Amino acid sequence: MSERILTDAELIAIGGRMNKTLGLPVTQRCFGKGQITLRSEKERPGERTLRPGEMLQWKTVDGVEYFLKNVQWFRAMEFFILPPAELKPGGPTVSIIIPACDNLYLTRQCLESVWRQTRDVDCEVILINNGSTDGTKAFLEEIKGRVVALHVEQRVPFAKANDMAAHFAKGDYLVLLNNDTIAHPGWLTEMLKVARGQEGVGIVGSRLVYPSGRVQHAGIAFREKWPTHIYCQSTDAHAPYLLRTREMQAVTGACMLIPRRLFGQFGGFDEAFKNGYEDIDLCLRVREAGYRVICCGRSVLTHYEGRTPGRHDHDAKNHALFMGRWAHRIQDDYEDILAADSSDLVLESSCTRIA
């Protein structure tokens, strides 16, 4: 078996943190592709080895889980090895990941709509209770067995919550879904049709409408380098141009389908973003690698939008990070989309900037 030296970053993330938390210094050896052997430099029984696809899982005394994703470290009290998620024959086609931070009434109606509208798709629901204090944990106990429930005591940003939950997914596809959404009939079937039926698709997004019926999201375009929800606030939510399945530069992470292997290949969301822009950043990375990002106009959900506490606390920093990374590579396409749709365009309000 081949052997390599761990990088400084890996040592800092694995060895240093493990030493600090567990008193377990480790050697600088990594054996085989995707396999890390952690050896105690002290007299300690046993040797803990990560096989390909495994990760370290950390667990607090009350069952709240934290994870070592790749070489990232999350503080906790006890560690053990978690077997890799394997898609077994007859396993779920889709893993629906729903982060929830308070707003239990929204979580309830989201889950009820998902259960009601996904009977034609083999799927699992993974709900990450992200530091809720409103009875969400007790509710998840009530529905134990219907969802995979993960609990985090201290609230983490949107990107990290999804990345953590993705480790437990067993489906061919991930659907990243906000808890302030209500699924409409056929929403997931239509997304899967696009993902499976078109060549080179990396990400599929949905058309989102406000409870009032106005359009919230029909794809993200760029106008003067700003990411913009096209047709946001339009009252004509069923106009022909909104029913189209079209390629976009980005779609919102409020409802996003991506193959599980692809999400892992790109390392999930970039956790440098805090509750904003991580979805657009992922779309652009996927497109840059040659995959297509599609907005499916026939997949529809109601979206209340912006209900998570602290949703906009980091907007300025997120925007600065995003522009520093992508400003010279993104293409303004907002006007081109409107021009292409002009033959059947009836619009009251055509766009809303993301931030």
Residue 352: predicted pLDDT: 57
Mean pLDDT of the chain: 76
Picking from 205, 200, 228, the residue whose alpha carbon sits closest to that of residue 333 is: 228
- Single-letter amino acid, residue 134: D
What span, in angstroms and rounded, lies between the C-alpha atoms of 12 and 5?
13
Are the C-beta atoms of 241 and 261 separated by less than 8 Å? no
Ranges of each domain in the chain: 3-82, 94-353
> For the chain, how far is it from start to end, CA to CA, in angstroms?
50
pTM, rounded to two decimals: 0.73
Residue 354: predicted pLDDT: 61
145/89: higher pLDDT: 145
Is residue 74 scored above 90 in pLDDT?
A: no
Residues 262-320: tens digit of each pLDDT:
999 999 999 999 999 999 999 999 999 999 999 999 999 999 987 666 667 788 999 99
Work out the pLDDT band at 161, boundaries 50, 70, 90.
very high
Residue 90: predicted pLDDT: 53
Residues 300-311: tens digit of each pLDDT:
999 998 766 666
Are the C-beta atoms of 334 and 228 separated by less than 8 Å? yes
Residues 212-221: tens digit of each pLDDT:
999 999 999 9
Q: Was domain 94-353 assigned CATH 3.40.50.2300?
A: no
Mean pLDDT value across residues 63-90: 33
Q: 278-288 and 315-326 helices cross at what angle (nearest 10)?
A: 10
Is residue 329 scored above 60 in pLDDT?
A: yes
252/73: higher pLDDT: 252
**β-strands 65-68, 55-59: how paired?**
antiparallel
Residue 208: predicted pLDDT: 96
CA atoms within 13 Å, Cβ hemisphere of 250:
29
Q: Tokens standing for 280?
A: 């657009």
Picking from 173, 201, 220, 198, the residue whose alpha carbon sits closest to that of residue 322 is: 220
